Structures are given as C-alpha cells and as structure tokens.
Amino acid sequence: MYNSNVPSNDPGEKTRLPTIDDYRDYVGDDAVERIRKKADSLRGMHVTNINSTYYGGGVASLLSSLTLLMNQVGLKTGWRVIQGTPDFFSVTKKMHNALQGGSINLTERKKRIYEGVVRENAVRNHLTHDTVIVHDPQPLPMIEHYNKTVPWLWRCHVDLTDPDPDLWAYMEPFIEQYDAVIVSREDYKQKLQTPQLVFEPAIDPFSILNKEMTEEEILDRLDKYNIPSDKPLLVQVSRFDKWKDPEGVIEAFKLAREEVDATLVLLGNVATDDPGGRAVYESLLDEESERIKILSVEDTALVNALQNRAAVVLQKSKREGFGLTVSEAMWKGTPVIGGNVGGIRNQVVHGENGFLVESIEETAKYIVELVNDEGKRVEMGKRARETVRERFLLTRYLEEYLDLLLNLEIRVVVRGHNN
C-alpha cells in the first residue's frame, strides 16, 4: 500500500538497533505479533514528528526511541526540530510555565516573536507526509502554514491540570485546526471540539539510559564524577527547572540526614529550548557539600548508573506532565518518592511501589523509612519494575499510535503542500 524503504538492521552490525522482537521477553509473543500485524497495515506510511529540541527533556528522549521503533516496524517515521532565537525560546518557556499553572503577560510582541519564528520554520519545512505529529506548544502554529490535506496531531506533553486561561484562549484556534489532540492524563483534557486521546508515555528498555549495567560499569561511572558509594544514595535526575523543586529536595535531604546517613546527588541537564535552566543550576551551587553533589553533565550512562545504584530516587516535582525519570528508576528496581502531581501519579502507587508526597516533611519521612529498611526497598523495587513492565514500555505506546493511525483511515493519494 505504501512505499517501503527502511534501512536494513542487520543483527551482526555494531550499530544494531532494538527490534520489536527484542521485546518478546518483556511483553510476550502475542503483543509482539499483534503490533506487527497492525504495523503491517501501515507499512511505508510516511510520518513526521516536529518538536523544539533534539536533546534534554522527556520529549526528546521519547522521540529518539519511538521514531526508531516505528521505522523498525515499517513506518517511515522522521523527526524534525524547529530552530528558534533566544527570544523565541524565552517566550515559549513562559508559555510552558503558564500552561503548567503559572501566568504570562501575553503581549503582542511575544505573539509576534512566537508566530514569526514558527512561520520561518514552516517555510523551511516541506511536509509531504501522510501524517504530521506536532509536539508541545513551541511548533503548535506550524499547521497554519500548510494546505492541510492529511491528518495533523498535536501531542501535548505538559501538565495541563490548570492552564492559564488567557494563554489557552490564544492557543485554542491553533489547536482546533488539528485532527486530534493527545495528552498524558485523562484530567489534562480541555474543552475542545477536537477529539482528545490519552497516551501515557513509556520508556525504551534497550537505550543507554535504561539497559542493564554491570556492577563494575555502574561503579566506574560514579567514580568518574567522584560520587561516593559508601553511603546510601538519594538521587534526583531532572532538567534544572523550578517545577522539579530541586530546593525542596535539598531541604528534605537535610531534614532526613538528622536521622540517617546518606549522599544526595542532583543530576540535571539544560535542554536547548529551556533558557532558564542555567540560572536554576547556578542558584543551587551554594548547597554543594561533601554529601550533596550537584552535577550538570550530559552523560546518559551516568543517569542509568545513578538510577540503578540509588537506594531511593526522588522526583519531587510540583508539576509534571508525565515524568519519564520515574519509570526509568522503577524499571531498575528502585523505589521512587515522587510529588503527588500529574503523571507521577500514573506511575507511583503510594505505599506499593513507592511513595507520593506533598511536603518536604513527608519526603524526609519516607527517605528515612526507606533508607532504614532494605527489605522494604527491595519489595517496592520489585513491584516498581513489574509496574513498568506491564504498563510503561515503549511497545504499549507504539501500539496506541498504530491504533490511532489506523483509525484515522489515512489516504496517501492527496498530500499536503507548503503554501
């Protein structure tokens, strides 16, 4: 039905990529066969994803793995990243914050910068695909600049519990042009004419971020950054962003340390579309000490090693679209203490596979409880891994996209053309 021209994936190659068959042990033969069958009906379909950063943050993590797996099952799936000026990313970061419960002074100047840069990107991107998937607010108005003859989907990854009403009113006419909106939780749905679907994100168990590491590899990674492994490790891995509440993590750690001995590591990166990150990182540096490590390094294997080695992973967010770091840690059998917000609540079942918290004091209390009780950590960690195996592996997410694409009854005859 569609042209198929996917690069080969010879298992003998050094650069071999994960295939759908690699998932058999985790999700079972039936799931793999079901997915393969659905994908076969869409073989050769040309899909593109558009977002605003190639690195840093969950959207880039997800796209990196999902686009490869979609190609592997036969859909020609691409990924384009829009370019923007610092002004543009400063405006879009304010929009991101306002969607997550902050506010924005939405001036004509900001709208001009936002829509202007998106227009420039539309001129540069010639989209002749069978489906276009646009991620998050940054490239949202792209749709205005094309003769829309194929399905366009808007995939919004942010916590939409309480978006700024003025900003939402401004975005709505763009959103309504899409054929469907995908959000990460049922309660993120808004009043819209456009159909809305809920897809929870998922992790790639074969990526550098999540694949098995030996004890030696883990310790080597920690040594490289002088991270002591003599005491229990408490870890939060997050972009440096106020919604991730790094100050709250440090406060909770200090409280907990009155009762238990441990080391805290805050590891973060700064996404290319997140201009505020550097300042948040620098504001934390005064807190560094022998037992509080604050690292801003780009090292995916270090993330894996820390999530593996940690006694407890913290994700004390105040807002969280989903929080891939939570599933990543849980997959490694590490219990998570997470903020009782957004997508963290999809993953952590309080008292079962981790704890959900609403204050610094509660966070400290559960740190102490888990550090003191290895048996409990192991039990919770086992349940945490099983939760991810059942619900948060990439095959489930892939299948949701396949179902949607099949339902859209896409025709390849008429394609969109750039204006």
Residue nearest to ligand UDP (CB): 58
**Which is nearer to ligand UDP, 199 or 322 (by Cβ)?**
322
Q: Would you count residue 308 as binding ligand UDP (CB under 6 A)?
A: no
CB 366, min distance to ligand UDP, A: 20
Nearest one of 328, 313, 319, 288 to 366, comparing CA atoms: 313
For residue 59, CA distances in Å to 40, 53, 115 come to: 26, 8, 21
Q: Would you count residue 300 as binding ligand UDP (CB under 6 A)?
A: yes
Q: Contact with ligand UDP (CB under 6 A): which of 18, 323, 342, 416?
A: 323
* Stretch of 101-109, 140-148, 324-332, 334-342 lying at the interface with ligand UDP (CB under 6 A): 324-332
Q: Would you count residue 339 as binding ligand UDP (CB under 6 A)?
A: no
The one-character DSSP state at 191 is: S
Q: Residue 397 and residue 243: Cα distance in Å, rounded?
A: 25
Q: Contact with ligand UDP (CB under 6 A): which of 50, 53, 57, 139?
A: 57
Helix, strand, coil shares of the chain, percent, nearest 5, are: 45, 15, 40
Q: Would you count residue 268 as binding ligand UDP (CB under 6 A)?
A: yes
- Of residues 186 through 245, those in contact with ligand UDP by CB under 6 A are 209, 237-239
Task: Give the number of other CB atoms < 10 A from CB of residue 386.
Answer: 14
CB 315, min distance to ligand UDP, A: 7
**Which is nearer to ligand UDP, 130 or 241 (by Cβ)?**
241
350 alpha carbon, distance to own chain's centre: 22
Question: Total residues at the site for ligand UDP (CB under 6 A)?
Answer: 18
CB 94, min distance to ligand UDP, A: 16
Q: Residue 194 and residue 176: Cα distance in Å, rounded?
A: 6
- Which is it for strands 312-315 and 233-237: parallel, antiparallel or unpaired? parallel
Q: Contact with ligand UDP (CB under 6 A): which of 46, 328, 332, 355?
A: 328
* Stretch of 40-48, 211-219, 265-273, 285-293 lying at the interface with ligand UDP (CB under 6 A): 265-273
**Which is nearer to ligand UDP, 74 or 246 (by Cβ)?**
246
- Which is it for strands 196-198 and 233-237: parallel, antiparallel or unpaired? unpaired
Q: Residue 186 and residue 208: Cα distance in Å, rounded?
A: 31
Q: Would you count residue 61 as binding ligand UDP (CB under 6 A)?
A: yes
Sheet containing strand 152-155, edge to edge, reads 76-81, 46-51, 131-135, 152-155, 180-183, 196-198
**Which is nearer to ligand UDP, 325 or 387 (by Cβ)?**
325
Q: Contact with ligand UDP (CB under 6 A): which of 122, 222, 303, 336?
A: 303
* Binding characters for ligand UDP, 69-108, by CB under 6 A (x = yes): ----------------------------------------
Task: Look up residue 142 and give its two tokens.
Answer: 């792209």
Q: What residues have CB less than 8 Å from 168, skipping those under 6 apart?
A: 99, 190
Q: Residue 409 and residue 179: Cα distance in Å, rounded?
A: 12
Q: Would you tell me which residues interact with ligand UDP (CB under 6 A)?
A: 57-59, 61, 209, 237-239, 267-269, 300, 303, 322-325, 328
